[in-house]
Amino acid sequence: MKKLLFLFLLLLPFLNFSQESDTLVDERKVLMDSSQAMPLRFDESYFEKLKDDPDFSYIDHQTTESWWSRFKNWLNKQYQRLVNWLFGSYSPGSFLAFIIQLLPYLLIGILVALIIWLFTKLNPARNYSRNQGTPGVLLNDEEQLVKNEDLDQLIQRAVAEQHYRLAVRYYYLAQLRKLDDLKMIVYEFQKTNMEYAAEIEDEPVKQQFLQNTRFYEFIWYGGFQVSEADFEVAQRSFQKMDQIIKNTAA
């Protein structure tokens, strides 16, 4: 009997807990929301603005590189290869790096100076002449005329056909031939008229040569019609040169 009483007292707390738990479960209620849900509405114009905003564009646009950009990139690569081959590795902040950065501009300057020098030396403006109704004499033919042609006969033919500009041309080339024969100048195709004048040591010959040069350049490169009177003035100047040369040679 005592054992049963002891066992009852021992289980009594558990029996009370079970009852309290059941009571709590019974008191729980489910709350229902009886209000009507309102659907969300979005402004369509707002989304259109977002589509046009580049900050919200996540599409990668592939641009086609132009031929000029490809050429510059290729040229830059070739230049870098040349620099690496010539100088090897170098520090970016060194004096050698400064020279390498300056080198392309120096090369371009040298190239421009060379082109200008060739232009002034060869004087391409004299490569051909224009004369309405008359054939032109190309500068490339000058050496052939001076060394191989009968210039006196060409002068007579040009005067007879009233090609006065051409006759002045032949007069001037004949003058260069005579000066070259007398060793007063050394005729070379690429020389300028002023270089020939600098070679002449005899002062009367030099002064007459300069005067004939002015007549020649004015008439031959003037690009206008030369009258018979204009030609006769130039012809007398060339004939005076012939007389001066004869007096000097005698």
Task: Please give the Cα distance from 217 to 174 (Å, whole number).
Answer: 15
Long-range own/partner contacts, residues 241-249 (CB < 8 A, 24 or more apart)? 241/175, 241/205, 241/208, 241/209, 241/212, 242/178, 244/204, 244/205, 244/208, 245/178, 245/179, 245/182, 245/205, 248/182, 248/202, 248/204, 248/205, 249/182
Task: Please give the Cα distance from 132 to 38 (Å, whole number).
Answer: 95
Tens digit of each residue's pLDDT, the chain (250 residues): 555 655 555 555 555 544 444 444 455 666 666 666 666 666 677 767 777 777 766 666 566 678 888 888 887 887 777 777 776 766 666 776 777 777 777 878 888 888 887 777 665 445 444 444 444 444 457 777 877 778 899 999 999 999 999 999 999 999 999 999 999 999 988 889 999 999 999 999 999 999 999 999 998 888 778 899 989 999 999 999 999 988 887 6
Indicate the burial class of 205 (C-beta count within 10 angstroms; 0-12, 13-18, 19 or more).
buried
pLDDT at 101: 74
What lies within 8 Å, CB to CB, of 60 at 6+ separation is: none
